[in-house]
Amino acid sequence: MKMMSPIGFIGIGIMGRGMLKNLINKIDSKFVIWNRSSAVCDELLSQYPDKITIAESASAVVQQCGVTYSMLSTMEASIDVFDAPDGVIAGVSEGKIIVDCATLSPERMIEESRCITAKGGQFLEAPVSGSKVPAETGTLIFLCGGDSALFESQAPLLDAMGKAKFLFGDVGQGTNVKLVVNMIMGTMMGAFAEGLALGKAADLPLDKLLQVLDLGAMSNPMFRGKGPLMVDQKFDPNFPLKHAQKDMKLALDLAGKHGLSLPTTAAANSVYVQSMQPPVSAADEDFSAVIKGL
């Protein structure tokens, strides 16, 4: 698909890099990019000199593009990049489209939407299910909230980066789905880590234990992919542990607002928090490193 105006992309980290590369390789367009750390922008410019322009600020990206995608890792990053005097919101004018793919709180997404639409822009909430490898292979799942016509207008770009996309209603609902998904994933990983730790303590052959799990009702891609790496103590970050813990905490906050107790999630979250502290200090490792906290 050929785009008439450049596409903006802000936030080029573990996830954003793969997402942007899929857009560059599949969409006939120029791209204007910005990241708080400039090194990754320079690297991408060297790879795609005919397709990429590096903007001087987040607001400059928005000003130069019809649609701008953002993939920031934390609430703090969102506030820093969106709310700054030269940030995303400052660059919005009539007709500009902002698509935020970060995992934030639903309240934060609603606030972004309010600020952007107040300036005549349009906002689509689009957090993703998937980590580094799905981002690189274009197999993310987009969990969206916002206007249905806007959602449909972004279909070609979402399809270039993902294998599926869903619209769940108003802004905020996409994030609610994402928090439920990551809450379940985090507790599953916590239980899996405990099982491997117990198996090791009982002197079981962990390779055979993984085979047994994969042949039964608990077989799933996460256990299949992460299990051997956990046994070998390899924790290169596809989904950093600190981000998994952030999402579980946000899910617990959401549950509290609905008067719901999540004891299993609360217990798992405490292990993630413990794993981020010395002497383990696994915050920047893959979330499967929660096993180190045991």
pLDDT of 4 > 90? The answer is no
26 catalytic per annotation: no
The predicted-structure confidence for 194-249, as pLDDT tens digits, reads as follows 999 999 999 999 999 999 999 999 999 999 999 999 999 999 999 999 999 999 99
- 1 — pLDDT class (breaks 50, 70, 90): low
What pLDDT score was predicted for residue 241?
97
Q: Are 61 and 33 in contact (CB under 8 A)?
A: yes
- Please give the CATH architecture assigned to the domain spanning 7-170: 3-Layer(aba) Sandwich (3.40)
Catalytic residue among 21, 96, 165, 178: 178
pLDDT of residue 2: 66
Q: Where do the structural domains in the chain lie, given as residue ranges?
A: 7-170, 176-293
Mean pLDDT (the chain, rounded) = 97
- Percent of residues, the chain, with pLDDT higher than 70: 99
Digit-coded pLDDT (tens) for 96-118: 999 999 999 999 999 999 999 99
pLDDT digits (tens, 9 = 90+) for 39-89: 999 999 999 999 999 999 999 999 999 999 999 999 999 999 999 999 999
Find out whether 98 and 116 touch, Cβ atoms under 8 Å.
Answer: yes
Q: What percent of the chain has pLDDT over 90?
A: 97
The whole-number pLDDT of residue 243 equals 95
The pTM (predicted TM-score) of the whole model is 0.93
Per-residue pLDDT tens over the stretch 134-151: 999 999 999 999 999 999
- Is the domain defined by 176-293 classed in CATH 1.10.1040.10? yes
